[in-house]
């Protein structure tokens, strides 16, 4: 996987592309990126700016953290269920 470009570089490229002073193909070539990469950056910038619907980077990061926390809580809950079943079996009269 190629090394990601710095955020500042992406912002600069998006700003130039939004001015529409040259064709997208030429802008991408001038900055040394593919045209599809430029289009993805523009789409993500539109989402971040609220122009187009979608999850922002902050929302995506928060969702990832919440899913991770949910997995941990489910594992802890399963451990407690098993422990309760184990101890209930030991306490039951014989």
Give the model confidence (pLDDT) of 35-69 as tens digits: 999 999 999 999 988 888 888 889 999 999 999 99
Residues 35 and 8 in one domain: yes
Residues 30 and 69 in one domain: no
Check if the beta carbon of residue 14 is closer than 8 Å to that of residue 42. Answer: yes
Residues 21 and 43 in one domain: yes
- Give the domain range for residue 50: 1-54
Residues 75 and 45 in one domain: no
Tally of domains within the chain = 2
Check if the beta carbon of residue 8 is closer than 8 Å to that of residue 17. Answer: no
Residues 2 and 38 in one domain: yes
Percentage of residues of the chain with pLDDT beyond 90: 66
The residue ranking higher by pLDDT, 50 or 9, is: 9
The answer on pLDDT for 93 being more than 70 is no
Among 22-26, 27-31, 85-89, the range scoring the smallest mean pLDDT is 85-89
Residues 7 and 38 in one domain: yes
């Amino acid at each position: 996987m190629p090394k990601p470009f710095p955020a500042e570089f992406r912002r600069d490229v998006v700003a130039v592309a939004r001015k529409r002073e040259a064709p997208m193909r030429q802008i991408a070539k001038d900055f040394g990126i593919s045209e599809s990469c430029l289009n993805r950056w523009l789409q993500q910038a539109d989402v971040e700016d609220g122009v187009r619907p979608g999850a922002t980077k902050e929302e995506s990061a928060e969702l990832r953290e919440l899913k991770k926390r949910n997995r941990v809580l489910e594992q802890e809950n399963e451990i407690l269920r098993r422990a309760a079943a184990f101890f209930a079996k030991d306490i039951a009269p014989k």
